[in-house]
Structure 1
């Protein structure tokens, strides 16, 4: 069994890398490796500017946000390091700031640093 995902066209698992693409040996369908990585996590998570976010990235808050359960707001320009993607959800990420731990943030208020 290969480490590459099943073919999106025929669903067979007989796939292999070929340069910057993944090829299905059964039907001959080709697709870029970058798309294969994105489909492994389920969905592409994009910031407000359209940049693709991945686990471990650093993001910056683009506007002041009130935080439920805390009297400390997240100010514009706050850096959130080492984010985690929420599985199956392309609108939220998990992360922590210096002062507030365990945040779940909407990506429409974030940009990649």
Structure 2
């Protein structure tokens, strides 16, 4: 059985195949299976939680409080991450540094472009 891809709209993995369509159980988004295959062949576009395209060097803002593994300091809502770097072959993650924590890898669903 082929693996069902993550939702292109909300980036969550709670999706299933329904005939010729893929459906996201979380946001209700539906997309054609052949459209996903064509998109996988193209280079992945990295988008923030609002759908804005992100690029290397952009500045993003955290939209909710996040616990950071390996640190007792959480990232608070509104924290600015400057000079992000895109992760190769992974449109769901970016790398960056905050003022207090260095070497962060963050999911794009918790970020918005500043």
State whether structure 2 residue 72 is matched by structure 1 residue 64: no
Shift of 1:61: 0.1
Equivalences, count: 73
State whether structure 2 residue 90 is matched by structure 1 residue 89: yes
Q: Report SS of the residue matched to 1:108.
A: helix
* 1:2-52 C-alpha deviation (Å, 9 max, x unpaired): xxxxxxxxxxxxxxxxxxxxxxxxxxxxxxxxxxxxx6xx31000000000
Coordinate RMSD, CA, aligned = 0.7
Give unmatched runs, 5+ long, in structure 1.
Answer: 1-38
Name 1:110's counterpart in structure 2: 111
Q: Distance in 2 between matches of 1:68 and 1:49?
A: 25
Say which one has the larger Rg: 1
Where do 4+ consecutive residues of structure 1 move more than 4 Å? none
Q: Distance in 2 between matches of 1:64 and 1:94?
A: 17
Q: Distance in 1 between matches of 2:51 and 2:74?
A: 25
State whether structure 2 residue 56 is matched by structure 1 residue 55: yes
Q: Distance in 1 between matches of 2:109 and 2:84?
A: 15
| TM-score, L = length of structure 2 | 0.63
